[in-house]
Amino acid sequence: MSWWLGGVFYALVVLAVFFLSGSLPPSYLLATLALAGGALIFRSAIDSQFKKTGLSATLEALEKMGRDEDIGGIYLEGEWAPLGEAVRRTAGFTVERLRDLQEEKSKLETILAHMVDGVVLFSARKRVLLLNPAAEGILGVGREMIGARGLELYRHLPLDEALDRVLASGVGTTLEVRLYHPGEKDLQVFLSPVRGGDEGKPSGVLLVLRDVSQERAVEKMRREFVADVTHELQTPLTSILGYVETLQEGVEDAATRERFLGVVQVEAKRLSRLLDDLLDLSRIQAGVLSYRQDLLDLGATVRDVAGRFRPRAEQDGRCLELHLPDEPLPVRGDADRLGQVLWNLLVNADKYTPAGGGIRVRVGKDGPWATVAVEDDGVGIPAEELPRIFDRFYRVDKGRSRQSGGTGLGLPIARGIVEAHGGRVEARSKVGKGSEFIVRLPLHKEEQSG
């Protein structure tokens, strides 16, 4: 029952009590009854008008709109019809706009979530308003940084000062920074002002972070490579030029002249070897060297190379032992390139082993690997140098390596070739006792399962 019906009922009860107690004349009761009847008729007339026009539905729809609920259809008749139409159109337009905005928002969120570059949006007071997953990864932070100060986020004073400058000037800028948390990183940072603040000032700054650590590392490697090569080429060239100038000035003694010419020849050969090795290494590292994929018996390949090397070792007074398995060891690969690996290891074993010492080559099997171990009784390698001997131009004893014609590229070339065959090479050594280089190559599949 609505409030007004309750009111009328209550008034009637009170009047009836007064009437029954005799304090009111019957005309009062009649007048009251007429009044209540009139009110009832008036109310039902309004209700029917509302129902007829659908105005109540319109009001309900407007309330729903306010609550962001689906409003369904609104149909008004007669003089209310234009109002109904206007509300319907406004509602339709608003719903459409909301849908568009929602769509735009989810598009932007998808783009931000999948960007490789980090994106951070700062307010005019340098508080983090937004950061995408890439930015979280680059800076090693999480969602909790929303609302934090810029400096807490990147911990880099020059970057913070750049942010201040962009906020003050409204002009974007780019800078490169090195961050140390979490881990060392080189970042290219693009700062752009966000328009719309007071008095033409930016309302914030958008930061785009690009991780350029890899590019910078490659550039550094390239610079170091050029410096290393220049240095390596300079030594024999200086020597050649020196002797040639002396010869040009005239050397009376024929024997001395022959000796000088001999040095020029040795240095020129060294240069040629260096260039060959450099070319090989750069092709191996660039992955442009093509390898045959023949099915080989590793034992036979090793026997072949060791056979060619034996006279050289014996001539230098070293004994070369070869231990081969009874069974063939099938591996897929390039016999010439694998032969080059073994040759380089044998040359080293020979170079760094005093006359009278021994070199042992063992071919075998270790789980899924076919192995070749080259062991010598040579000078050995200090433990702290072992991790670096596969680096380009790294030599434990520069003088000794150069004197014996080394280029400092034999081991990096060997490692490159072995790795291109899906294998690994490692070294063990004891100073004064000798060294052992072990090459592992994947056994051909049938052999592995057998």
Judged by beta carbon, residue 139 or residue 271, the one nearer ligand ADP is 271
Looking at the Cβ atoms of 54 and 378, the one nearer to ligand ADP is: 378
Nearer to ligand ADP, 150 or 378 (CB): 378
Comparison of 257 and 402: residue with beta carbon closer to ligand ADP: 402
Contact between residue 247 and residue 261 where contact means Cβ atoms under 8 Å apart = yes
**Considering only CA atoms, which of 53, 50, 72 is closest in space to residue 61?**
72
Q: How far is the CB of 435 from ligand ADP (least distance, A)?
A: 4
Using omega within 30 degrees of 0 as the cis cutoff, is the peptide bond preceding 193 cis?
no
CA atoms of 358 and 437, how far apart (whole Å): 14
**Which residue of the set 114, 156, 181, 231 is catalytic?**
231
CB-based closest residue to ligand ADP: 406
Q: How far is the CB of 241 from ligand ADP (least distance, A)?
A: 23
User: In the complex with ligand ADP, which residue's Cβ is closer, 365 or 395?
Assistant: 395
The secondary structure of residue 24, as a DSSP letter, is S
In the chain, how long is the greatest CA-to-CA distance?
163
CB 187, min distance to ligand ADP, A = 36
Long-range contacts of 223-227 (CB under 8 A, 24+ apart): 225/392
Shortest Cβ 211–ligand ADP spacing (Å): 33
The DSSP code for 267 is: H
Question: Can you tell me whether residue 23 is helix, strand or coil?
Answer: coil
CB of 431 to ligand ADP, least distance (A): 9
181 classed as catalytic: no
Closest CA to 319 of 372, 371, 376, 364: 376
What length is written for the chain? 450
**CB of 442 within 8 A of CB of 368?**
yes
Q: Is 24 exposed, middle or buried (CB count within 10 Å of its CB: 0-12, 13-18, 19+)?
A: middle
Residues that bind ligand ADP (CB under 6 A): 348-349, 352, 376, 378-379, 381, 389, 394-397, 401, 406-411, 435
> Any idea which residues carry the catalytic annotation?
231
